[in-house]
Amino acid sequence: MSNTIDNPVWNNWAGNISAAPQQIARPGSEEELAALVQKAAQSGQSVRVVGSGHSFQPLCATDGLLLTLDDLQGVVSADSTSGLATVWAGTKLHALGGPLLAADLALENMGDIDRQSVAGAISTATHGTGAALRNLSSQVVGLRLVTAAGDVLEIDGDSAPATFKAAQVSIGSLGIITQATLACLPAYRLHERTWAEPFAECMERLDERIAATRHFEFFWVPGEDVAACKALQPVETESWQVPEDLSGLSERLRRYIGPERVDWSYRIFPSERNNRFVEMEFAVPAAAGPACMQEIRALMQEKHPAVQWPVEYRTLAADDSWLSPAYQRESVTISIHQAVDLPYAAFFADVEAIFRNYRGRPHWGKLHSLTAADFVALYPRWNDFLAVRQELDPTGCFVNEHLQRILG
Ligand SMILES: Cc1cc2nc3c(=O)[nH]c(=O)nc-3n(C[C@H](O)[C@H](O)[C@H](O)COP(=O)(O)OP(=O)(O)OC[C@H]3O[C@@H](n4cnc5c(N)ncnc54)[C@H](O)[C@@H]3O)c2cc1C
């Protein structure tokens, strides 16, 4: 039997979203999950699923049934010959590194943290940085999906190409993913180097560094007008760490600058993010990244000088998942942040206007005000996605108020 809680209150990680579902259910098997979805759909109850609740949008909010896959975690199989690992969709990314390493495998790339669930990260096209590297959804080569009818579909690019391209990034709107098969790399170590330099110097050398580094990114720290840079490169050596004297750095910079070190990739990628914030991020065409960044900096210096949270600048390779913000477009992603308990609406609205001018596509899990009318113009396969959605969820079982606004 699945664990259920009646009339709970649910909050996301940042604390800017809360919901009052009728029930939160934690199924212990795929069969239980399918039965719960089928029953809810038949009685007209809306169903949403939550991973780690790290999205800033009300993606998981529902007044119906909220499912969590916390009891459906772990590696099902991992094969170093094929490079494929099949994992339960509720598995947290931080629980994946060790078991993958045991099979001599690793994820090709990861984002800033490793607290997300596999399915949550896939469903919003979560990404790291690296001009030649695509988002996590692009590493998916197969999915098991429970539909509103309670059917379990096994989909991949060969057996169901259209459904698969839709399901790779689907914000939980097609059904519940129960397992994902990921294409991995042989386990590898990364050398991490972080440093601070004047913003102008960072922009001058940006193209060269992006081209020369597997993962390059920087945070522009507004108060000091400094770029906190991070470069990660694969290396063959054993793990090591050199302590560094960080005493000359401001408290803000010390969050981004650390010791030089080498370790397994899954230990190098994630940082700790303990202060609660809200975030907006758009993917803009790669060539427009520097100009967009300069405009945001000028806006913040002139109109929003009180905002102290850094702006993150990353690169992302093009892919072919229909709803990926990097769909058929080499991209730069730029994210702005503010403490969750400080005013952010006017600041975010001003920056969003800049992103829109660059034909930016918002991160599905982060704050934005775009609606279906905007998306149809930004995503060439938007209507094809809606057709797959209509086929898999004809009664709108998986649609909440937010999805209604963005899907139309
Ligand atoms: C501190 C912090 C750091 C972050 N860093 C990055 C980063 O570096 N890069 C980046 O791209 N993003 C980043 N994000 C955003 C984050 O990766 C996404 O919002 C991601 O979706 C969160 O994963 P989650 O498991 O918490 O998903 P949730 O927020 O719980 O859910 C996200 C979506 O996935 C759906 N979903 C969850 N499980 C399933 C399932 N089993 N089947 C179908 N749909 C499902 C949900 O319904 C929802 O629509 C960050 C967020 C925070 C708070």
Q: Indicate if 208 and 346 belong to the same structural domain.
A: yes
The confidence score (pLDDT) of residue 245 equals 80
Q: Indicate if 118 and 182 belong to the same structural domain.
A: yes
Q: Indicate if 194 and 182 belong to the same structural domain.
A: no
Q: Indicate if 344 and 276 belong to the same structural domain.
A: yes
Torsion of CA 174, 180, 184, 189, to 10 degrees: 100
Q: Indicate if 198 and 330 belong to the same structural domain.
A: yes
Q: Indicate if 177 and 142 belong to the same structural domain.
A: yes
Residue with the smallest CA separation from ligand 1 atom 11 is 126
CATH of the domain at 106: 3.30.465.10
Residue 405 forms part of a structural domain: no
3-state DSSP assignment of residue 16: coil
Structural domain containing residue 113: 75-187
What number does the ligand 1 atom closest to the CA of 178 have?
41
The confidence score (pLDDT) of residue 244 equals 77
Residue 53 beta carbon below 6 angstroms from any ligand 1 atom:
yes
CA distance 390 to 372: 15
Q: How far is the CA of 303 from the centre of ligand 1 (A)?
A: 31
Residue 24 forms part of a structural domain: no
Residue 358 forms part of a structural domain: yes
- The structural domain count of the chain equals 2
CA distance 241 to 260: 6
Residue 367 forms part of a structural domain: no
Q: Indicate if 180 and 195 belong to the same structural domain.
A: no
Q: How far is the CA of 12 from the centre of ligand 1 (A)?
A: 10
Residue 291 forms part of a structural domain: yes
Q: Indicate if 198 and 327 belong to the same structural domain.
A: yes
Stated pTM of the model: 0.97
Residue 13 beta carbon below 6 angstroms from any ligand 1 atom:
yes
CA distance 135 to 182: 12
Residue with the smallest CA separation from ligand 1 atom 34 is 120
Q: Indicate if 99 and 217 belong to the same structural domain.
A: no
Residue 301 forms part of a structural domain: yes
What number does the ligand 1 atom closest to the CA of 127 have?
11
Q: Indicate if 149 and 210 belong to the same structural domain.
A: no
Residue 69 beta carbon below 6 angstroms from any ligand 1 atom:
yes
The phi-psi region of residue 125 (left if phi > 0; otherwise alpha if psi is between -120 and 50; otherwise beta) is: left
CATH of the domain at 342: 3.40.462.10
The residues pairing with 338 across neighbouring beta strands, listed in sequence order, are 278
Residue 96 forms part of a structural domain: yes
Q: Indicate if 276 and 328 belong to the same structural domain.
A: yes
Structure-token pair, residue 230: 């991070």
Residue 44 forms part of a structural domain: no
Q: How far is the CA of 168 from the centre of ligand 1 (A)?
A: 14
Residue 403 beta carbon below 6 angstroms from any ligand 1 atom:
no
CA distance 268 to 92: 16
Q: How far is the CA of 276 from the centre of ligand 1 (A)?
A: 15
Q: Indicate if 197 and 315 belong to the same structural domain.
A: yes
Q: How far is the CA of 402 from the centre of ligand 1 (A)?
A: 15
Q: Phi, psi (5° rounding) for residue 349? A: -65, -40
The confidence score (pLDDT) of residue 252 equals 87
pLDDT tens string, the chain, 408 residues long: the values are 578 999 899 999 999 999 999 999 999 999 999 999 999 999 999 999 999 999 999 999 999 999 999 999 999 999 999 999 999 999 999 999 999 999 999 999 999 999 999 999 999 999 999 999 999 999 999 999 999 999 999 999 999 999 999 999 999 999 999 999 999 999 999 999 999 999 999 999 999 999 999 999 999 999 999 999 999 999 999 988 887 788 888 888 888 999 999 999 999 999 989 899 999 999 999 999 999 999 999 999 999 999 999 999 999 999 999 999 999 999 999 999 999 999 999 999 999 999 999 999 999 999 999 999 999 999 999 999 999 999 999 999 999 999 999 999
Instruction: Among 152, 187, 222, give the residue marking a domain's end.
Output: 187
The confidence score (pLDDT) of residue 1 equals 57
Instruction: Among 187, 208, 232, give the residue marking a domain's end.
Output: 187
Residue with the smallest CA separation from ligand 1 atom 12 is 126
Instruction: Among 167, 187, 207, give the residue marking a domain's end.
Output: 187
